[in-house]
Structure 1
Amino acid sequence: MEDRLRELIDVVLGSLDEPVNGTSLAARVHFSRDHLDRLLAAATGESPVAMRRRLLLERAAWQLRTGAASPAGAAEAAGYGSTAAFSRAFARAYGTPPSAFAGEVELEAPNGIHFHPPAGLLIPGVRAGAPADLTDRLVSHHLDRVRELLAAAATLSDEALAREVRPGVVLVWFEGVEPSAALMCERLVFTLEVWVAAMAGSPVPVAGGDWEPRFERAALAFERLAKRIRDRGAFDDAFVDALCEPPQSFTYGGVLSHVLTYGAVRREALASVLVELGATVPSCGDPIVWEAQSARTRIARNATMS
């Protein structure tokens, strides 16, 4: 959802506990009431006042169902002047009086925007093409994070990268110690290359060489494999990894989980080492922050193209 529309909806949310009307809501965003009504009605199918009234009733329904408020308390919190007026409005919306309510909180809405307990909103995303599922999110975030860490590592000298700043540290139980940023970078890249080769049935990769071009090749192949596995629903399908000695059987879902789990451990350890060595690491590595930044980038790109 575009930032401006989200801002307007946030104004409605922020007004739930205040005595406001359509005119005062519009004044908060420096619009006339008619202009705000037109904007939100076009985008959400509801006027600000209608949306606010519905969200207040949904919040009241949640309070009644959970015992967080009595009918009188819910009526006051929803801004009704009397319990009788609240009961009439509630019964019209839910088909039952507040004292007997035990049903679903969400009322029919043209936009999918609903009260989200205890004090927020559920706002559906506006999607372009297929929605990104958990596989997309985890894989894309991991690859983006490793990409920025390798770029940060490239700003350091070979001497700094080889310095053993974490003596004795073991990040993956069967791969031994990783005391330096150089070894962490190499294993981040090489293990991805190895698992891509295993899943794709390709020859054993050769370790060594520049990290960034090797990573980009492996990342592209890994992303394609993950999407193919997801699209086929093949997470539980097994394959024999001939690269192991002796050969072993793995499920595709197990391998993807392994790569992302231990990749996260290794990459964040690398991030802390790079910062200690004086490199600038541009983000915190949090998928929530990454997703918000990615959304802002898409909006800016779309605005430039339009």
Structure 2
Amino acid sequence: MSTSTDAFADFVDHLAEALDDARITEATGEEWAARLHFSRYHFDRMIRSVAGEPPSALRRRILLERAAYRMVTTTAPLLDIAVEAGYGSHEAFTRAFAKAYGVPPATWRRKPGHLQIEAPSDVHFQPPGTLRFPARDRVTSVDLLTRMVEHHVWLTGEMVRLAERLDEGQLDEVVGLAVDDDEQTIRSLLSRLVGQMGMWNAALATREYDWSVEEHESLSSLRQRLATEGPTYLAHVRSVVAADRLDDTFVDALCEPAEVFTYGGMVAHVLTFAAHRRTLVALALARHGVEDLGWGDPMLWVAQPV
């Protein structure tokens, strides 16, 4: 990453952190440059080279977008909103707002439109009080699908690891809201999470799946099976996604009678039922004081750069 890009990222970070600080509307360009340890000249030049607009213009635009949001969501007088946006008079605010949005603020408030003002940096005010940053890398739907499967394999492994803190009685304590007909426990849910991947691996390889392994399975067995079944299942998904074959079909000859499934349907099936089982495990672990994983939410995982 270049120095200019670093400076821009730091500037936007500082701007986001100080958005609710009244001093943001009063800070001069020299003060902003000093915060980031640059001269005003170099600061302006670096930010403009990355953002396509000088830092003062970016800051004013963000504050105007926030002002537009305030007009829609509050009954605050326009003068109060103008002052909050850094304008010393209603007239100055009206001129700036009309230039950016095409109509005066009073007119826009009666008939609001798009909040965001077009800008080359694609950094915008994000309601209710932060900034929206452009993604460094565009994530496609198939990228997202692969990341969700990666998260599933990883999270299942973490749950098996954390289950080692429990005693045998806790592992076999019945968990409510079972997804299957039989009573579920942490042990049986973990075994089914691993077994679900193993079952589909077997179907794709046209071999029998040994259901007996899931009967009161030990944690050591779970670890060993996951070390094989997880990467194998993930490799199947990656291969299908890379070849754009999610709509292709395969025959599960092990079903009675044999059934035809799509690869995409298989992945959707695994992720849907696994999400429920993982949530039950997370809740059961938390009930025994093991809260390291929270809800096991994939939101942060899929947002991480690969």
Give the shorter-chain TM-score range: 0.7 to 0.9
The equivalent residue for 1:302 is none
Note if 1:205 corresponds to 2:209. yes
- For the pair 1:260 / 2:299, whether they are aligned, the reply is no
Aligned pairs for 1:183-202 within 5 A: 183-198=188-203, 200=204, 202=206
Are 1:243 and 2:254 matched, yes or no?
A: yes
Residues 142 and 3 of structure 1, relative CA distance in 2, 3 Å threshold: farther
Partner of 1:125: 135
Identify if the C-alpha distance between structure 1 residues 56 and 129 changes in structure 2 by more than 3 Å, giving closer, same or farther. Answer: closer
Structure 1: tracts of 5 or more residues without a match:
299-306
1:22 to 10, 16, 29: 29
Identity of matched residues, %: 35
The alignment covers a number of residue pairs equal to 288
Specify the SS of the correspondent of 2:185: coil
Partner of 2:159: 149
SS of the residue 2:115 aligns to: coil
Asked if the contact 1:167–1:178 (Cα under 8 Å) also holds between the matched residues in 2, the reply is yes
**Taking structure 1 as reference, are residues 146 and 103 closer, same or farther at Cα in structure 2, changes over 3 Å only?**
same
Report the alpha carbon displacement of residue 274 of structure 1 after superposing the two structures with TM: 5.5
Q: Secondary structure at the match of 1:210?
A: helix
Question: Deviation per CA, 1:183-217, whole angstroms, max 9, x where unpaired?
Answer: 3332221111112333x353223353833343243
Point out the more displaced range, 87-96 or 104-113. 87-96
Question: TM-score when scaled to structure 1?
Answer: 0.74
Please give the secondary structure, in 2, of the residue aligned with 1:121.
Answer: strand
Structure 2 counterpart of 1:12: 15
| Structure 2 counterpart of 1:116, one-letter code | Q
Cα distance in 2 between the residues matched to 1:113 and 1:205: 51
Q: Which residue among 172, 178, 182 is the counterpart of 1:171?
A: 178
**Residues 82-139 of structure 1: per-residue CA shift (max 9 Å, x gap):** 1211222222223333233343222221111111222221111212897874313322
8 A contact 1:171–1:178 mirrored in 2: yes
Closer, same or farther in 2 for the Cα pair 1:56/1:21, shift >3 Å?
Answer: same
More off after superposition, 127-136 vs 254-263: 127-136
In structure 2, the CA distance between the partners of 1:94 and 1:179, relative to structure 1 (3 Å rule), is closer
The 1:230/1:7 distance shift into structure 2, 3 A limit, reads same
Aligned to 2:144: 134
Number of the residue aligned with 2:103: 96
Question: Which secondary structure does the structure 1 equivalent of 2:174 belong to?
Answer: coil
**TM-score, L = length of structure 2:** 0.74
Structure 1 SS opposite 2:131: strand
Aligned residue type for 2:63: L
